[in-house]
Amino acid sequence: DAGVIQSPRHEVTEMGQEVTLRCKPISGHNSLFWYRQTMMRGLELLIYFNNNVPIDDSGMPEDRFSAKMPNASFSTLKIQPSEPRDSAVYFCASSQQGNSNQPQHFGDGTRLSIL
Amino acid sequence: GESVGLHLPTLSVQEGDNSIINCAYSNSASDYFIWYKQESGKGPQFIIDIRSNMDKRQGQRVTVLLNKTVKHLSLQIAATQPGDSAVYFCAENNYGQNFVFGPGTRLSVLP
């Protein structure tokens, strides 16, 4: 079975540019999570969706960050305008949440470098 | 806590020995716990989970122990192999709320 698919794997761009990260969750999963990982702060939850609806975006650092999930098989995380401090690895994860907790399954991330 | 500095705790183990990786979790109400393995350039990979109504669960070469009294979780890896070298994270979940990840421990397997 295909896992969580993220694109691009690497992105290098100049500050001020718009960046769009993409994620395809595992088919059948109804929850989707965006994380950011840095050496200094570890793995931080930015936002998560349940049945395509944003549930908690308290981790989104600033208004420059936005996330959408137009359907069950696709989500985007957008940064506009980007800044050097946004450089990090961004992970998407999905899970099937029901009556009991289920593990999240991660993609291999997008390594973002803002120059 | 969740804060992480520049240096992860590192555990160095001889190949073939058993490894024990520890994690202190923060919320006494957490009811579900997961261990993840993250190799360089990859996302965290699920290893094993345990619910709060259990204190031990075994998988293939791995065992997770949960001590709710002291809010402590451990991952035991039997007969550690070079392929086990990675960063290991524990994660806790409170009744369906978000997972909170620990800072991670780097496991280095020595030949």
Give the whole-angstrom CA distance, residue B88 versus residue B79: 17
Average of per-residue pLDDT across A55-76 = 94
By the CB < 8 Å criterion, does A47 face chain B? no
| Tokens linked to A31 | 């929850």
Give, as one character, the DSSP assignment of residue A20.
E
Query: How distant is the alpha carbon of residue B18 from its chain centre?
Result: 14
Give the whole-angstrom CA distance, residue A105 versus residue A92: 8
Write down the pLDDT at residue B100: 87
Give, as one character, the DSSP assignment of residue B85.
-
Q: Kindly identify which residue of chain B lies nearest to residue A100, measuring between CA atoms.
A: B96
Q: How many CB atoms lie within 10 A of CB B3?
A: 8
Q: How confident is residue A72, by pLDDT bands cut at 50, 70 and 90?
A: very high
Under 8 Å between Cβ of B39 and B28: no
Write down the pLDDT at residue A98: 66
Q: Dump pLDDT digits (tens) for A74-100.
A: 999 999 999 999 999 999 999 987 656
Between B4 and B68, whose confidence is greater?
A: B68
Write down the pLDDT at residue A101: 78
Average of per-residue pLDDT across B27-42 = 93
Q: Tell me if residue A99 falls in helix, strand or coil.
A: coil
Optimal mutation site among B39, B98, B100, B105, interface A, most CBs of chain A within 10 A? B98
Q: Dump pLDDT digits (tens) for B61-103.
A: 999 999 999 999 999 999 999 999 999 999 998 766 678 898 8
- Would you call A1 exposed, middle or buried from its count of C-beta atoms within 10 A (0-12, 13-18, 19+)? exposed
By the CB < 8 Å criterion, does A71 face chain B? no
Q: A17 vs chain B: nearest CA distance in angstroms?
A: 25
**Which helix (DSSP H) or strand (DSSP E) does residue B12 occupy?**
strand B10-14
